[in-house]
């Protein structure tokens, strides 16, 4: 793929934040972005790295009406030796292609977009923050851009990648979060698009998240849509439980996002010789386990959220405390090791980290 470079002049370059403390997640963007277009009969074309700025879209663009789109989230890290690296980036573009199949979007060539991403990252390398726990969040996105409001699959698309220097996703940092189990709304149904990383899943979650926040909770834990018993995932992360010394996470049923952090926690746990299991877990099992002490930890896992201990679970108006609202040893071990691999402090036995 031939990438055209239209870069900012030295005077037009912005200054990255001197410190990430106080910067709200995902609100600051780097100097440049990568864009390319797709058209029926032509495929992907017009690949270009250009200044970050507004898109030109007609109000009739199909994505604005019918939400035919997909997005991804991954991060670039500065290691202790000053090198910039990515964490399992191919997994994100492969997942984007799985979302694309479900959403009728054109597929990407994983190696080509990874090469383009690295070109963008090398150009904006000054935007990778280096304070502890910070990173450059990468947001690849595909939008349906055909100018037509009849309901059909679009014949034109825009793919772009933008970069945002970030600190912790939650204002609590690595401290236990309060999560509300939703018994009123559901996120995804069997046969639907829950496994896909598409905007509509998040738009449909907003009301539940808003109501949970008004009651003092950080995010919502979703139950399955049919029986409203089985645990699925949290708004922006997958969920893990430590039950009788076994690490358990909901199995991928099609309505849960197959998280790359989730997969990494499972692989790391197995590598350490811990008991790990993907299965069906009911909310009653978890709440009873919290009462009788068999559930000793609950934590979330995601790119933005990293490993996030859960200190309180609320269900039907009642709060249940988890491990005395302290970060448990299992969550701590995964946090330390995963971030250790990402920041080059720990050996990387799986070759998860890729140099830019």
Q: Which residues bind ligand COI (CB under 6 A)?
A: 73, 236, 302-304
Query: What's the number of CA atoms in the CB half-sphere (13 Å) around residue 165?
Result: 25
Short-list 262, 254, 279, 278, CA closest to 98: 254
Asked if 164 interacts with ligand PLP (CB under 6 A), we say no
User: Which residues have C-beta within 8 Å of that of residue 205, sequence separation ≥ 6?
Assistant: 185, 187, 220, 222, 235
Query: What's the number of CA atoms in the CB half-sphere (13 Å) around residue 325?
Result: 9
Residue 154 contact partner, candidates ligand PLP, ligand COI, none, CB within 5 to 8 A by sort of partner: none
Closest distance of CB 286 from ligand COI, Å: 23
Closest distance of CB 230 from ligand COI, Å: 22
**8 A C-beta contact, residue 178 and residue 216:** yes
Judged by CB under 6 A, the residue of 259, 269, 289, 311 near ligand PLP is 259
Give me the helix-helix angle, 260-271 and 89-103, nearest 10°. Answer: 130
Residue 242 contact partner, candidates ligand PLP, ligand COI, none, CB within 5 to 8 A by sort of partner: none
Asked if 261 interacts with ligand PLP (CB under 6 A), we say yes
Which CB, 16 or 73, lies closer to ligand COI?
73
Judged by CB under 6 A, the residue of 257, 298, 310, 341 near ligand PLP is 257
Short-list 50, 32, 324, 325, CA closest to 178: 325
Closest distance of CB 117 from ligand COI, Å: 15
Residue 323 DSSP one-character state: G
Closest distance of CB 56 from ligand PLP, Å: 28
Which CB, 16 or 340, lies closer to ligand PLP?
340
Residue facing ligand PLP at closest CB distance: 259
**8 A C-beta contact, residue 73 and residue 92:** yes
Residue 119 contact partner, candidates ligand COI, ligand PLP, none, CB within 5 to 8 A by sort of partner: none
Asked if 99 interacts with ligand PLP (CB under 6 A), we say no
Contact region with ligand PLP (CB under 6 A), list: 121-129, 211-219, 233-241, 336-344: 233-241
User: Which residues have C-beta within 8 Å of that of residue 42, sequence separation ≥ 6?
Assistant: none
Judged by CB under 6 A, the residue of 100, 119, 218, 238 near ligand PLP is 238
Q: Which two tokens stand for residue 166?
A: 């970030």
Which CB, 289 or 300, lies closer to ligand COI?
300
Q: How far is CA 308 from CA 6, 124, 294, 305, in A?
A: 39, 29, 20, 6
Short-list 228, 231, 336, CA closest to 290: 231
Q: How far apart are CA 181 and CA 149, in angstroms?
A: 37
**8 A C-beta contact, residue 221 and residue 313:** yes
Judged by CB under 6 A, the residue of 136, 144, 188, 237 near ligand PLP is 237
Closest distance of CB 205 from ligand PLP, Å: 8
State phi, psi for 271 to the nearest 5 degrees. -60, -35
Which CB, 73 or 254, lies closer to ligand PLP?
73
Residue 233 contact partner, candidates ligand COI, ligand PLP, none, CB within 5 to 8 A by sort of partner: ligand PLP
Which CB, 123 or 305, lies closer to ligand PLP?
305
Residue 260 contact partner, candidates ligand PLP, ligand COI, none, CB within 5 to 8 A by sort of partner: ligand PLP
**8 A C-beta contact, residue 199 and residue 214:** no
Question: Would you tell me which residues interact with ligand PLP (CB under 6 A)?
Answer: 73, 233, 236-238, 257, 259-262, 302-303
């Amino acid at each position: 793929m031939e990438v055209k470079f239209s870069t900012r002049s030295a005077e037009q370059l912005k200054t990255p934040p001197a410190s990430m403390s106080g910067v709200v997640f995902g609100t600051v963007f780097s100097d440049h972005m990568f864009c390319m277009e797709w058209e029926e009969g032509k495929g992907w074309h017009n690949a270009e790295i250009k200044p970050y700025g507004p898109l030109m879209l007609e109000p009739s663009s199909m994505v604005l009406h019918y939400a035919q789109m997909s997005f991804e989230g991954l991060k670039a890290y500065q290691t202790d030796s000053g090198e910039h690296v990515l964490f399992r980036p191919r997994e994100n573009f492969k997942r984007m292609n799985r979302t694309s199949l479900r959403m009728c979007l054109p597929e990407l060539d994983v190696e080509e977009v990874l090469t383009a991403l690295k070109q963008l990252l090398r150009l904006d390398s000054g935007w990778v923050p280096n304070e502890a726990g910070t990173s450059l969040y990468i947001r690849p996105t595909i939008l349906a851009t055909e100018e037509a409001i009849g309901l059909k699959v679009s014949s034109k698309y825009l793919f772009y990648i933008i970069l945002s220097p970030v600190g912790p996703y939650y204002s609590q940092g690595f401290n236990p979060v309060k999560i509300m189990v939703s018994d009123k709304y559901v996120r995804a149904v069997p046969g639907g698009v829950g496994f896909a990383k598409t905007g509509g899943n998040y738009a449909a979650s907003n009301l539940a998240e808003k109501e949970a926040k008004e009651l003092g909770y950080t995010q919502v834990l979703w139950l399955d849509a049919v029986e409203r018993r089985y645990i699925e995932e949290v708004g922006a992360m997958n969920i893990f439980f430590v039950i009788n010394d076994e690490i358990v996470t909901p199995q991928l049923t099609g309505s849960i996002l197959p998280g790359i952090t989730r997969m990494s926690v499972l692989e790391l746990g197995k590598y350490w010789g811990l008991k790990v299991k993907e299965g069906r877990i009911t909310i009653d099992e978890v709440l009873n386990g919290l009462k009788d002490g068999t559930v000793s930890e609950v934590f979330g896992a995601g790119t933005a959220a990293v490993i996030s201990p859960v200190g309180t679970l609320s269900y039907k108006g009642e709060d249940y405390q988890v491990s005395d609202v302290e970060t448990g040893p299992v969550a701590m071990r995964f946090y330390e090791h995963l971030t250790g691999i990402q920041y080059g402090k720990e050996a990387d036995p799986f070759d998860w980290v890729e140099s830019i």
